[in-house]
Amino acid sequence: MQKKLITACLAIAALVVVPSVAPANPILTEPTTTFLPAGAKITATNIGNITFVTSTGTLTCTTATLTGTLISNTTATGAAVEITDAKFGGTGGTQSGAEEPECTGSNFFTPGTTVTPKQSLPWCLQAGASADTVTVKGGKCSVQTSINFKLDETGVGTCEYSRAGTVNGTLVTDGVGSNENTVALSEQAWDLVSGPGLCPNEVRLNMRFSLETDASPFSQVFISS
């Protein structure tokens, strides 16, 4: 009788479906075991060059700094940062009124180009998926608008580009491959909306950046999932 009871219990146990534990969404920590609180100031700094690739040449920027505020940071929803300032610079001269030196490049982008992204700020950078992906959209994190920027090409004029949809990127989290704790955008396309006839019809952005706290001593922010 006891053996039958044990066998029955085992059979019932085999039929019980235990729900799997879903992986946590990416969060920002500093140091690795401490959640950053909402309201923390964040700076994103480029790793390597930033390129704008077109059919008539490639524009290369050597510096990029994005600054903003951490809006949310939980394992349930992931991390979201509202970017309120963005600067791209290069090794060229500085146009009158520009904050940063010109980026330089080949063919159409010779001799230099000033990149101006500020007119569409803020942007929302959101890591809300367990698959280590990130999205960037125009507007605050509660809404969505287009992301626009201008390329002021010396001797040609201003080419303005726009992207209405979400920009998609990838995260490299703690302990996963090379370039850990970074965000990467690859071949993300923007369309020409205004400018002289020489302006390329499309530019494709490539960049990688790390995250730091926006206050001395500017410590690294880790991306954990």
- Residue 187 is which amino acid? E
pLDDT band at 25 (very low <50, low <70, confident <90, very high): confident
List the structure tokens of 84.
């309120």
List the structure tokens of 179.
């370039």
Percent of the chain whose predicted confidence (pLDDT) is above 70: 87
114 phi and psi, to 5 degrees? Answer: -95, 130
pLDDT band at 114 (very low <50, low <70, confident <90, very high): very high
- Taking only the tens place, the pLDDT of each residue in 42-84 is 999 999 999 999 999 999 999 999 999 999 999 888 999 999 9
pLDDT higher than threshold 90 for residue 40:
yes
Spatial distance between the Cα atoms of 224 and 24, rounded to a whole number of angstroms:
9
Spatial distance between the Cα atoms of 174 and 107, rounded to a whole number of angstroms:
40
- Residue 202 is which amino acid? E
Identify the CA nearest to 83 among candidates 94, 69, 71.
Answer: 69
pLDDT for residue 199: 95
pLDDT for residue 175: 59
3-state SS of 131-159?
CCEEEEEECCCCCCECEEEEEEECCCEEE
Using alpha carbons only, give the angle 172, 177, 179 rounded to the nearest 5 degrees: 55
CA 61 vs. chain centroid, Å, equals: 16
pLDDT band at 173 (very low <50, low <70, confident <90, very high): confident
- What is this structure's pTM? 0.84
Spatial distance between the Cα atoms of 112 and 101, rounded to a whole number of angstroms:
9
List the structure tokens of 196.
């002289």
pLDDT for residue 8: 40
Q: Are 189 and 204 in contact (CB under 8 A)?
A: yes
